A and B are shown apart, each in its own frame.
Chain A
Amino acid sequence: MRKLPFETAPQAEVGDELQFHLEQRIRDYIAKGMDPATARATALERFGDVGGVQRECTELLVDDRRAERRRDWIGDLKQDLRFGVRAAMQAKLFTLLAVITLAFGIGANAAVFGVVKSVLLDALPYREPNRLVRVSGRFRDGSSGLGGLSVGAAKDLADRQRSFSSIAIFQGATAQRVFKGDGAARMVTLAWVQPRFFSTLGVVPAIGRDFRDDDALSDTSWSAMLTHTAWEQMFGGDPAIVGKTFQVNGITRTVAGVLPANFVSPMGEVDVFLAMSLPSLMRDPITVRGSHNMGFVARLKPGVTIETAKEDVTGISNDLSREYPRDDGPFALQARPLRDSMVGDTRTPLLVLMASAGLVLLITCANLAGALLSRTISRRKEFAVRVALGAGRERLVRQLLTESVLLSLVGGAAGVLLALLALTLMRRLALNALPSYVHLALDPGTLVFTMLLALCTGIAFGVVPALSVGRTNMQSVLRDETRGSSESRRSRRLRGVLVAGQIALCLSLLTGAGLLTRSLYTMMTTPLGFNPDGVLAVDVQPPVKAMSDADPMSRYYSQLEDRLHAIPGITAIASVSELPSARMNDNGLSIEGEPPPPNNQQPFVTYASVSDDYFRLLGIPLRSGRTFGPEDRPNAPTSVVISETMARKFWPKGDALGARIRLGPDAASPWKVIVGIVGDVRNDPLSSQPQSVTYVSRRQEPTGNLTFLVRAQGDPMAYAKRIQAAASAFDPDLATHNITTLTAYLADGLAGRRLPVVLMTGFGVLALLLASVGVYAMFAAMATAREREFGVRVALGSTRQGIAGLVLRQGAMWMAIGLAVGLVGVLFVGTMLRNLLFGVKPFDPLTLVVTALMIVACASIALLAPVRRATQVDPISVMR
């Protein structure tokens, strides 16, 4: 099935053939006595349409050649595969090890890619999700991340913009309210959106109708949109739910529709969406521009790019800052793709993981290339015979590539199984660290990616050994029999480079893993400023009847506290409006007697409303002044306790006690007096800097929902049931939820940070293992190849130590080169990780040295066996 040796262009070939026919015909006519001109004309006439026939035949020939090439190719491939399988079966151990190595390398990539794809690449469940934009607000001085915008600003932006075809404003925060169905009272999460919210996203309710504009207008309609989960959990999936009514917090709502099951809300978990009217929100002159708690989502007009929209929004934002310097001065509005706002801060860790997995795969490739190189050297004879029997070099290279691709495809298939396992694990480990729209699964896209990756891997690690065969002088191989002394300098250097490469990659990866591990360790061990051990946290949501006024509300809480205190074993109880976290309520701060800060520099501080025992229960020390007590009555001047950091920052002279401050945008609100200073608390475990915190008394400023903290004897979780029972007995309409220990709550906050650490460390260990195997394999092969040389050396008087030194020197050289190159990789890794690090610098000498030592130790262990073997060469047996 060989190709024709001289294949001409089809058209020329057909032309030649027809030309020959015509010439023959003319010749015959002339032989019969015609004159040449007539002969020619007659021949042409007899033939008919020469051009047409030539075209038709050319087409047929082109087709034929293509089919033949395909047949050839498939035939060769079949043969290569047969040889490949046979070769793989002959070296079972090698094949097994190679497949395992590949399975880990490819599996790691498949798993990480599966996550990356679902977080960063898959389409959001909206119509044309790439045309959706979210506008957020932030402080111009960069002191906060992206957050909400004020109602006023949102309205102005909606009126002035020229980039969006559809806009929906919504409450940036969701709220939890009590829902009492047939069973016990439970919490549901409510979100308020403009009626056009779903049509802007391009989501159509699965049951019922979308919100209409008049849903927000009338104060009597109270339409609600249920999410699919809420529909199932609150109403048992009642198919005739539309039009039915239910009560949340004592307000009757009518179900307008149910959203599709795959709907994902841009503001996190939501059960019920309610239609919101902008004008009613704009009635309060203080919050209209002063509270920045609105979300803004919009669809780009056809033909408008995101860049244009960004400029549009920035322009309007700058105008607003000029027009309303007091409120909008410090704020800037910023547009970005909706996906970016939903991906949040998982992008960097994911890219880091993808890069780590890539490094593991590179190490795998280098490793297998080395192993394959040794194998091709030991198979030189086989190849020489095949060349002698007429196989072309190119054919041989192809054969070897087929073998390596075959290996990598099998490895890839095994890798897919590993990835499935890994994703199952990750679903448990990491789901709350990933955006809510993520579905971790190996979809067809990931499978295709994995198989392509396997293919490329096979070519990548197969190409060097394959080419080295193409270069070998086959005649000398055949003639030389066993006399082939040492392996060539070239292949020795090639293997050295492969080992050095593995060590370099390994150093980069392990250093990265080390940096992340140190960060996580520092995060977990840096004092929080309070003692979370043995504390149970319970969120409670009182029914609306208890929330009428500050005084009865505070009394309600005190009575509840007394009930809980009566449970035997509970030693202390306190409450707080919000558990310490990265996203606590911020309020603008003004200080009496100080000039109002320039418009764009108003400071913001964290705010919490606490019960008297809060500081004692959590062990937050009092530095000076007092904490809250019975004297902080509802009608007395409001007392404030502030954190040390805040005292130092705003009253550097130490005169914070007795100073008066005002919190929030309302310039007419009464002053609050600072009565005490307490120790710092790290709200955000991901940040080393404690924030400025102001505490007010629950008695003076109670909040709608709060968290009870309970300290008890023994395992705090054991009290969960009793606490719930006591709360229900106190008031059946009171909902309790999110019962957890404070330590578990804090660990949850770190889950997002733990994922990359765990995975990258796993990858690092894998890389170290692979690199050690690589070092072992290289020097074992080298020792074997130089056995004869060592024998001669021993015979000539070289000592065992001398031989050992020879091997070790070579090993040390390649290792040193690897470590040196690895330093460059460390620079890259450090830069990439910079934003994920905590309490450790991107270029941390300690991490680097420990990592390097670890690699050297592992490599040295891997070197032991080959060195031993080299020193035990028996000169007589090798030279005989």
Chain B
Amino acid sequence: MFSNDSGLLQGTLELLVLKTLSWGPMHGYGIAKWIESATNDVLRIEEGSLYPALYRMSRRGWIKGAWGVSENNRRAKYYHLTAEGKRQFQEQTSGWQRFAAAVTQAVGTVTAPNWAS
């Protein structure tokens, strides 16, 4: 499921974007780069789906874009979290953690069920 070149689930991508922006405003390229490095290149962002996701999140009012100037003096659109975005981030993080813990626990179980023989 999470092989190197697999796509990301929609919700997962959004959570990762929220996480990235929780450090502060960043442009689309920076978001992609951070997610890749933070997951040790395990999760390679499909760029074709990152930008629509950003716009969709803007529309939902989680993040907001504003034009600024990049490190190398180029005009770039920086996204930041809105109040609603911060709330979403909290909620989705804890949701994800519960989900991941549950899956981890299930996957790591060693005691076989009684129907297994």
**Physical interaction between A and B:** yes
Q: Establish whether residues B29 and A53, one from each chain, have CB atoms under 8 Å apart when the complex forms.
A: no
- The reply to whether B74 and A20 form a contact with Cβ atoms under 8 Å apart is yes
Instruction: Give a binary string over B11-31; 1 marks a CB under 8 Å from any A CB, 0 the rest.
Output: 000000000000000011100
A220 to chain B, nearest CB (A): 80
Q: Is A269 an interface residue (CB 8 A)?
A: no
A52 to B59, CA, bound (A): 19
B54-69 toward A: CB 8 Å interface, digit per residue (1/0)? Answer: 1110110000001100
* A17 and B47 contact, Cβ closer than 8 Å, known pairs A24-B29, A60-B59, A64-B59: no
- Chain B residues closer than 8 Å to A48, beta-carbon distance: 46-48
- Per-position 1/0 for B25-49, Cβ under 8 A of A: 0011100100000000000001110
Residue in chain A with minimal CB distance to B74: A20
- The number of chain A residues with a CB under 8 A from chain B is 26
Given A16-B75, A17-B77, A20-B77, A47 contacting B55 (CB threshold 8 A)? no
B59: nearest residue on chain A (CB-CB)?
A: A64
B55 x A57 contact (CB < 8 A):
yes
Are the C-beta atoms of B75 and A53 separated by less than 8 Å?
no
B47–A46 CB distance below 8 A: yes
Residue from B29, B59, B72, B76 in contact with A63 in the complex, judged by beta carbons closer than 8 Å: B59
| Residue ID in chain B nearest A55 by CB atoms | B52
Q: Which residues of A207-227 have CB atoms within 8 Å of chain B's CB atoms? A: none
Does A427 sit within 8 A of B, measured CB to CB? no
User: In the complex, which range does the number of interface residues on chain B fall in?
Assistant: 20 to 34
Measured CA separation A14–B65 after assembly (Å): 11
A21 touches B28 (CB 8 A): yes
B99 sits at the interface (CB 8 A): no
Say yes or no for B96: interface residue by CB 8 A criterion.
Answer: no
Whether B47 pairs with A23 at a CB distance below 8 angstroms is no
| Contact between A20 and B76, CB atoms less than 8 A apart | yes
Given contact pairs A21-B28, A25-B29, A60-B56, A53 touches B48 in the complex (Cβ within 8 A): yes
Complex interface: chain B residues within 8 A of A18 (CB): 51
Cβ-based interface call for A49 (8 A): yes
Cα of A539 to Cα of B59 in the assembled complex, Å: 80
Q: List 30 A-B contacts (CB under 8 A).
A: A4-B66, A17-B28, A17-B76, A18-B51, A20-B27, A20-B70, A20-B74, A20-B75, A20-B77, A21-B28, A21-B29, A21-B47, A23-B74, A24-B29, A24-B70, A25-B29, A47-B47, A47-B48, A48-B46, A48-B47, A48-B48, A49-B48, A53-B48, A56-B51, A57-B51, A57-B52, A57-B54, A61-B55, A64-B55, A67-B59
**Chain B residues with CB below 8 A from A21, complex form:** 27-29, 32, 47, 51
Number of A-B contacts (CB under 8 A): 62
Question: Top 5 nearest A-B pairs by Cβ distance?
Answer: A60-B55, A48-B48, A24-B29, A64-B59, A21-B29
- Tell me the dominant secondary structure on chain A's binding face: helix
> Would B52 and A60 count as touching, CB distance under 8 A?
yes
Find chain A residues with CB under 8 A from B56 CB: 60
Complex: A24 Cα to B77 Cα, angstroms: 13
CB distance from B5 to the nearest CB of A (A): 12
Q: For B72, what are the chain A residues with a Cβ–Cβ distance below 8 Å?
A: 27
B29-A20 in contact (CB<8A)? yes
Give the chain B neighbours of A53 by CB distance below 8 A. 47-48, 51-52
Q: Enumerate chain B residues within 8 angstroms of A57, measured Cβ to Cβ.
A: 51-52, 54-55
The residue on A at minimum CB distance from B52 is A56
Question: How distant is the Cα of A46 from the Cα of B28 in the complex, in angstroms?
Answer: 15
CA distance A23 to B77 in the complex (A): 14
Quote the shortest CB–CB distance from B46 to chain A (angstroms): 7
Residues of A within 8 A of B46 (CB): 48
The smallest C-beta distance from B79 to any residue of chain A, in angstroms, reads 10
Not counting A14-B51, A17-B51, A60-B58, a sample of 12 additional A-B residue pairs whose C-beta atoms are within 8 angstroms of each other reads A4-B66, A17-B28, A20-B29, A21-B47, A21-B51, A27-B72, A47-B48, A48-B47, A52-B48, A57-B51, A57-B54, A63-B59
A16 CB, nearest partner CB in chain B, Å: 7
